[in-house]
Homo-oligomer: A and B are copies of this chain.
Amino acid sequence: MPISEFDLIRRFLQQATAQREDVVLGIGDDCALLDVPAGRQLAVSMDTLVEGRHFAPGADPVALGYKALAVNLSDLAAMGAEPAWATLALTLPGADTAWLESFMTGFGALAASHGLQLVGGDTTRGPLSITVQVHGFVDADAVLRRDAARPGDRVYASGTIGDAALALALGRQPGVEVPVELQLRLDRPTPRVALGRELAGRAHAAIDVSDGLVADLGHVCAASAVAATIELARIPVSATARGYLERFGWQPVLAGGDDYELLFCVPAEIEATLIGHCRALGHEISRIGLVEAGTGIVLVYPDGRMSREVPAGFDHFADA
């Protein structure tokens, strides 16, 4: 496919995202040139989505464009960063203009809504694969790191947990119709950027739920050298997902991943103020547990039973 065609597409895509004054030079030279605000740190994250691995062949390109950016924005959210720029490496089997326009629609709308500009990247031919890098700003003294949880912190989660994993699992069962509200949570996860920025400098630690609630909270505990107890009855589960709990058990909620909600640890002394403030801004957040001295994660089931093991038996998505 001629380079000029790709160039045109990229220029079109750049137009579809925000136009920022800190972009000295965007797409079209050997490098993009960017101005980072004085005194702020640059936060960067890169994620790849591969056809057949992260999405099925024939997946809706609008949703793919959205999701490829959303999972990266979620990483900025988990650091409390302000989104600024993105780069995009697209590997495509061929020049399918309709596909690309749809992809751009999903990518561009989400970018524009976060004030983010596409500034560069690469377009090559090959098996379908999408790599996005996002760039944002944080203040050095107001960044949400994994290693800053402290005993006594309250563990909170945003939104609802387990919907995306259920959509993925149900979608793999022949003849099963996936409830649209679950499918949307898988295809259109909401990066919690605004919440992350409220938490920055206030919460002690944060992470986004990509590997699964227990695994991701485990990353925080390991990095912070602390333990945590989670009360399963407090985990926010959507009404739709709740209907599947009896059939699938707790695994989709505890190990499902792909929700891109935030888990964060709030010091007790500011809990009332911070949580009240966030809720007043419209953020749905739920207290699900407590950080303690020690190592590992203890799960407290609704019947009072305690366990350090995530239940098995729902492994379809463990390889997703």
Interface residues of A (CB under 8 A from B): 3, 24-25, 28-36, 38-39, 41-54, 74-76, 78-79, 81, 87-89, 91, 119-122, 124-127, 129, 131, 133, 135-136, 138, 140, 143, 145-147, 207-208, 211, 223
Determine how many copies of this chain the complex contains: 2
Residues of B within 8 A of A79 (CB): 29-31, 33
Residue in A38, A41, A211 whose Cβ sees the most chain B Cβ within 10 Å: A41
Bound CA–CA A51/B91 (angstroms): 11
Cβ–Cβ contact B30 & A45, under 8 A: yes
Minimum Cβ distance to chain B for residue A309 (Å): 18
Pick the residue among B38, B44, B120 that contacts A120 (CB under 8 A): B44
Residues of B within 8 A of A133 (CB): 46, 87, 133
Pick the residue among B33, B91, B122, B136 that contacts A46 (CB under 8 A): B122
Which 10 pairs of residues, A with B, have the shortest CB-CB distance? A50-B126, A31-B43, A30-B78, A127-B127, A30-B75, A36-B36, A34-B42, A89-B131, A31-B45, A31-B79
Bound CA–CA A75/B47 (angstroms): 22
Residues of B within 8 A of A125 (CB): 50, 53
Residues of B within 8 A of A41 (CB): 24, 33-35
Pick the residue among B49, B119, B136, B211 that contacts A44 (CB under 8 A): B119
Residues of B within 8 A of A31 (CB): 43-45, 75-76, 78-79, 81, 136
Given A24-B41, A127-B129; 4 other pairs, CB 8 A cutoff = A30-B146, A32-B44, A34-B43, A50-B127
Cβ–Cβ contact A50 & B136, under 8 A: no
Cβ–Cβ contact B45 & A146, under 8 A: no
Bound CA–CA A155/B140 (angstroms): 45
Bound CA–CA A88/B46 (angstroms): 8
Bound CA–CA A89/B138 (angstroms): 23
Minimum Cβ distance to chain B for residue A232 (Å): 24
